[in-house]
Every structure is written in structure tokens, then in C-alpha cells.
Structure 1
Amino acid sequence: MHPETHLTLHHTRAAELRAQADAHRLAATHAKPPHDLRTRLGWTLVEVGLRLATPKPALSPSPSS
């Protein structure tokens, strides 16, 4: 095998991998992150939990006329 052949194959494979990485990065940039929905749902559940755990203020009886 010629000493430079493995180097040529290495450069070819590296260029293919870079192209795949660029395509993946481009696709990931245009896609909405999957954790966005989970984050909103999580904070909504936290808010509901806090509302359930917080005692409601006692209502004072209204004066009768």
C-alpha cells in the first residue's frame, strides 16, 4: 500500500463526517427543541402544586345590614 493512501482515505472520511455533522446541526437548528414542551408542562405543574399547597386566606364574614 502506498504510504499516502491511508492519509487520503482519512481525509475523505473526515470530510464525510463533517458533512454529516453539518447536516445534523442544520436539521437540529430548525427543529423545535423537545424539552420546550416538557419545560412548560413542568412549570405549569409546579404552579398548580403551589396553588394547592398554599392555604387560602380565611374570608371574614360580611356585616349584615
Structure 2
Amino acid sequence: MHPETHLQLHDLRSVELRRHADDFRLVHPRSDSGPRTPRTDMRTRLGWTMVEMGLRLIPDRSAAPSRAPRTA
């Protein structure tokens, strides 16, 4: 498929998805009038805590002896 044709298909699909999203917002109005309160602070702290815990669970490869590669 030609790149320009591919790009036009993506553009058409994005317009269609935006139209569906606008229709959904009209049918399902938000109960509160203001914008949502961001919960990014809590999510960020939780995310970094999970990363830190994951890094602690991974064994340190530099301390392990290196193995010779397998041969057939």
C-alpha cells in the first residue's frame, strides 16, 4: 500500500473515532461540571515504588559468574 494512502486511511479513521467520542460525550454527560481532579501524584508514587520493588527482586547479574555460550 502506498504510504500516502495509508496515511489518509489513518486520518479518516481518527476523524471517525473523534466523532464517535463526541457523540458518546453528548449521550453520557459528566455528572460533575468541572474537570477531573488529577491523581497523578499518587499514581506516580505507586509506579516508582513498584519499579523500586521490582529492581530489588531482580538478582544482581554482575555478582554472578559468567557462563560460556552454548554451542550446538
The TM-score normalised by the length of structure 2 is 0.41
Larger Cα-atom Rg: 1
The TM-score normalised by the length of structure 1 is 0.45
Instruction: Return the structure number with greater helix share.
Output: 1
